[in-house]
Chain A
Amino acid sequence: MTNAPSTPAPAFPHRHLLGIEGLTPLQILHLLDKADDEVLVSRQVEKKKNVLRGRTQINLFFEASTRTQSSFEIAGKRLGADVMNMSVASSSVKKGETLIDTAATLNAMRPDILVVRHHAAGAVHLLARKVSCSVINAGDGAHEHPTQALLDALTIRRHKGTIEGLTVAICGDIVHSRVARSNILLLNALGARVKLVGPSTLLPSGAERLCVETFTDMKKGLEGADIVMMLRLQRERMNGSFVPSVREYFRYWGLDSEKLAWAAPGALVMHPGPMNRGVEIDPEVADGPQSLIAEQVEMGVAVRMAVLETLAEHLPNA
């Protein structure tokens, strides 16, 4: 699996990164290996490479984002690209039309890489068909968020050495989570055992067909977990519609040190951020010794550099 950068063999033959779905385990590992190298770059005083010099990267965010957008921006800049951020208000009723119009407009500006986040599942795929550059999905609705799954995998692998054979509990609002979907695909591809834990109202239907086990009881769900991945509970889902209250949610599904003790000894805690302390996670755990949450952010930049660099290899005139 060693990957010689000098060989332009198609270790990663895709023009876009739209999701984890469709990636082979080898392709995933290729990106992770490359990301390991990028970590070193980011830790140097001289953080600049020039593999994307002259390239234009547009971060097109139809949905507000702080950490993903800045992570992609830093990743692009460290690789030498010219990065432009575009935040598009999504108030228009005719979203489909707006999306395609926007794509056509941007395409005419001849960018090399588009990083897109959109609130509707499938919007990034639609856009990818309308432009001639590479497209990276930075989150589409409740569908996929591939770079998050990759950065989670990188973080896990750097601590546990491998993904294969690990038990990973993904906890909380699974049904609305693109992070969960991408992680399920990636972790399954690399041979982990995935457990989904949350109230029945937040577990997706048909989950058993996704090669995962589901639990509504945290104790059973966390049992034997090497990794506990907490998900953010959106504010609008807290009061009565999906769960009755924050205090009840925290009581039964919030990760505190008592619940964490049900997981495997030394289990590591992750969260894609931003966290709601006191809702899905206790501050003591979030900021405790088993938490990898800060490290996930660092790995985010490395993974995005790896993805950008890999896709750039296939750009015209590369």
Chain B
Amino acid sequence: MTSRVQTDRRAAEQRPTVFSHARIVDPARGLDAVGSVIVAEGRILAAGPEVLNQGSPEGWEIVDATDKVIVPGLVDARVFMGEPGHEHRETFASVSRAAAAGGVTTIVTMPDTDPVIDDPALVDFVLRRAREQSEVRVHPMAALTKGQKGLETTEFGLLCEAGAVAFTDARKSVASSLVMRRALTYARDFDALIVHHVEDPSLAGAGVATEGEFATRMGLPGIPREAESIMLERDMRLVDLTKGRYHASQLSTAQSVEILRIAKARGLDVTASVSINHLSLNEMDIGTYRSFLKFSPPLRHEDDRQAVIEALAEGVIDMIVSSHDPQDVETKRHPFAEAADGAIGLETLLSASLRLVHDGRLSWTRLVEALSLRPAERLGLGAGRLSPGSPADLAVIDPGMPWLLDRQALASRSKNTPFEDARFIGRVVRTLVGGRTIHVLDA
């Protein structure tokens, strides 16, 4: 990046930009109306139906956004990283491009890199690399236990000060109730959020698919849904005991929804995500052992998928995550049971979620709340809203644009998408972070 470009850019940033005639969806203000969004000096100057009543002053850049939807940039609370340690899978530069293409302006990274992010100096490293390499905002979660071994809690205080936004052992569950209890208790002293993968490891055993007819027919070792229910139920009891702050990183079953519903009704400080994979796919999609559809938790029966969609619509499940998990051929091109879990998802997060809107299952407001406002609120980030003064992080969406996913055209360094050749309607056409355009869809 030359200084000339920077100067031009700065000049462009200083000139207010108006996106006119757009449908603006801003759940923080309950706003869903056609109007204009004015961006100036990296912030939202105004966004709403009446902001251009007086006409726009001369010199402002006007972008006609007729038939487009403008939403606060998406906040993805579960993104696995290749850096440090597996840069061939993903780097901060490549993840940033993938996020930008998907309208995601803030990513929250998982700590299970090599080395595991369990020390304040490593949080510093992640933030520095992100500053240098990423155009989207990056907030790291730090490990919940040292080395993610599930035995000793990490330095929540020092890690929070370094910039960790929550604590999680990523794809690992903390098997010891005692360790979890102490972690929830200690986290309280720093108002820290514990994020947990809910799967009883001993009950899940070597399973790779949801126990039932499908797994039986395919000859795959099964995991009962109870592996998730038992861990979630245990955690709810521990949250009640400790009065800690807790977030379940991915719920996938009807049983889990009921457990969470009860816990919330009792006033516990608990929230949960569902991954776009579990919202979009069921176990039948695995078809002939497609390892790109191997997840932890595994894809579920259609009844469970319907239950989590319903819970998301009601707000029992708070947010949607991509669970973006770059894996390469080394880890994925194996027999199903031996392949690594996970799929990339940043670039398809919005388009796949829009299917729920097109099907009448979610309102636009609820969709944007689940993809942006709620994760930002829960993690204490200043994103997720278009109110005046907020950072101008936003996504411009063409809600009617049909497109076909070409795996090789994805920006992520890894291409393990579960949506290969999928048809979507609706796509991000422009992404801004801090008022700066970081992605424009080539028409």
Could you say which residues of chain A place their CB within 8 Å of the CB of B151? 240
Give residues 36-51 of B contacting A (CB, 8 Å). Answer: none
Interface stretch of the complex, out of A29-37, A246-254, A275-283, A297-305:
A246-254
Interface stretch of the complex, out of B82-90, B154-162, B281-289, B405-413:
B154-162
Give residues 174-222 of B contacting A (CB, 8 Å). Answer: 182, 185-186, 188-189
Given known pairs A199-B186, A201-B182, A201-B186, the reply for A240 and B157 (CB within 8 Å) is no
- Contact string, B126-170, partner A, CB cutoff 8 A, digits 1/0? 000000000000000000011000011111111000000000000
Decide: B158 and A240 in contact? CB cutoff 8 A.
no
- Contact string, A251-276, partner B, CB cutoff 8 A, digits 1/0? 11000000000000000000000000
Given known pairs A199-B189, A200-B188, A216-B188, the reply for A242 and B182 (CB within 8 Å) is yes
Could you say which residues of chain A place their CB within 8 Å of the CB of B185? 200-201
Decide: A244 and B188 in contact? CB cutoff 8 A.
no
Q: Which of A240, A241, A244, A248 has the most CB of B within 10 A?
A: A244
Q: Taking the nearest CB of chain B, how far is it from the CB of A234, in angstroms?
A: 15
Q: Determine which of B145, B155, B182, B188 lies in contact with A245 in the assembled complex, contact meaning CB atoms within 8 Å.
A: B155
Q: Determine which of A200, A240, A241 lies in contact with B189 in the assembled complex, contact meaning CB atoms within 8 Å.
A: A200
Given known pairs A248-B158, A251-B157, A252-B157, the reply for A240 and B152 (CB within 8 Å) is yes
Could you say which residues of chain B place their CB within 8 Å of the CB of A85? none
Decide: A248 and B155 in contact? CB cutoff 8 A.
yes
- Contact string, B236-280, partner A, CB cutoff 8 A, digits 1/0? 000000100000000000000000000000000000000000000
Could you say which residues of chain B place their CB within 8 Å of the CB of A243? 186
Given known pairs A240-B151, A240-B152, A241-B152, the reply for A251 and B182 (CB within 8 Å) is no
B-side binding surface: helix, strand, loop or mixed? helix
Q: Which residue of B lies closest to A241 (CB)?
A: B152
Could you say which residues of chain B place their CB within 8 Å of the CB of A245? 155
Interface size on B, residues (CB 8 A): 16
Q: Taking the nearest CB of chain A, how far is it from the CB of B429, in angstroms?
A: 46
Give residues 190-237 of A contacting B (CB, 8 Å). Answer: 199-201, 216-217
Could you say which residues of chain A place their CB within 8 Å of the CB of B189? 199-200, 216-217, 252
Could you say which residues of chain A place their CB within 8 Å of the CB of B145? 240
Could you say which residues of chain B place their CB within 8 Å of the CB of A242? 182, 186
Q: Taking the nearest CB of chain B, how far is it from the CB of A313, in angstroms?
A: 47
Could you say which residues of chain A place their CB within 8 Å of the CB of B146? 240, 244
Could you say which residues of chain A place their CB within 8 Å of the CB of B182? 201, 241-242
Is A239 at the interface (CB under 8 A from chain B)?
Answer: yes
Q: Determine which of B154, B158, B186 lies in contact with A251 in the assembled complex, contact meaning CB atoms within 8 Å.
A: B158
Could you say which residues of chain B place their CB within 8 Å of the CB of A241? 152, 182
Give residues 89-129 of B contacting A (CB, 8 Å). Answer: none
Q: Taking the nearest CB of chain A, how far is it from the CB of B148, in angstroms?
A: 13
Q: Given the complex of chains A and B, what is the CA–CA distance between A216 and B156 in angstroms? A: 14
Could you say which residues of chain B place their CB within 8 Å of the CB of A244? 146, 152-156, 186
Could you say which residues of chain B place their CB within 8 Å of the CB of A217? 189
Could you say which residues of chain B place their CB within 8 Å of the CB of A247? 155, 158
Decide: B186 and A200 in contact? CB cutoff 8 A.
yes
Q: Given the complex of chains A and B, what is the CA–CA distance between A99 and B155 in angstroms? A: 41
Could you say which residues of chain A place their CB within 8 Å of the CB of B158? 247-248, 251
Q: Taking the nearest CB of chain A, how far is it from the CB of B186, in angstroms?
A: 5
Q: Which of B145, B151, B152 has the most CB of A within 10 A?
A: B152
Could you say which residues of chain A place their CB within 8 Å of the CB of B156? 244, 248
Q: Given the complex of chains A and B, what is the CA–CA distance between A187 and B152 in angstroms? A: 35
Q: Given the complex of chains A and B, what is the CA–CA distance between A217 and B189 in angstroms? A: 8
Q: Taking the nearest CB of chain B, how far is it from the CB of A311, in angstroms?
A: 41
Could you say which residues of chain A place their CB within 8 Å of the CB of B157? 248, 251-252
Q: Given the complex of chains A and B, what is the CA–CA distance between A248 and B161 in angstroms? A: 11
Could you say which residues of chain B place their CB within 8 Å of the CB of A199? 186, 189
Q: Given the complex of chains A and B, what is the CA–CA distance between A239 and B145 in angstroms? A: 11
Could you say which residues of chain B place their CB within 8 Å of the CB of A248? 155-158
Q: Taking the nearest CB of chain A, how far is it from the CB of B244, in angstroms?
A: 9
Could you say which residues of chain B place their CB within 8 Å of the CB of A240? 145-146, 151-153
Q: Given the complex of chains A and B, what is the CA–CA distance between A241 and B185 in angstroms? A: 12
Q: Taking the nearest CB of chain A, how far is it from the CB of B198, in angstroms?
A: 22
Q: Given the complex of chains A and B, what is the CA–CA distance between A12 and B404 in angstroms? A: 91
Q: Given the complex of chains A and B, what is the CA–CA distance between A247 and B157 in angstroms? A: 10
Q: Taking the nearest CB of chain A, how far is it from the CB of B144, in angstroms?
A: 11
Decide: A239 and B188 in contact? CB cutoff 8 A.
no
Q: Which residue of B lies closest to A216 (CB)?
A: B189
Q: Which residue of A lies closest to B145 (CB)?
A: A240
Could you say which residues of chain A place their CB within 8 Å of the CB of B188? 200, 216
Q: Taking the nearest CB of chain A, how far is it from the CB of B117, in angstroms?
A: 14
A-B contact pairs, 27 of them (CB 8 A): A199-B189, A200-B185, A200-B186, A200-B189, A200-B242, A201-B185, A201-B186, A216-B188, A217-B189, A239-B152, A240-B145, A240-B146, A240-B152, A240-B153, A242-B182, A244-B146, A244-B152, A244-B154, A244-B155, A244-B156, A245-B155, A248-B155, A248-B156, A248-B157, A248-B158, A251-B157, A252-B189
A→B interface (CB under 8 Å): 199-201, 216-217, 239-245, 247-248, 251-252
**9 additional contacts, CB 8 Å, given A200-B185, A200-B188?**
A199-B186, A200-B242, A201-B185, A239-B152, A240-B153, A244-B146, A244-B153, A248-B158, A251-B157
Closest 8 CB pairs of A and B: A240-B152, A248-B155, A216-B189, A244-B155, A200-B185, A201-B186, A244-B153, A201-B185
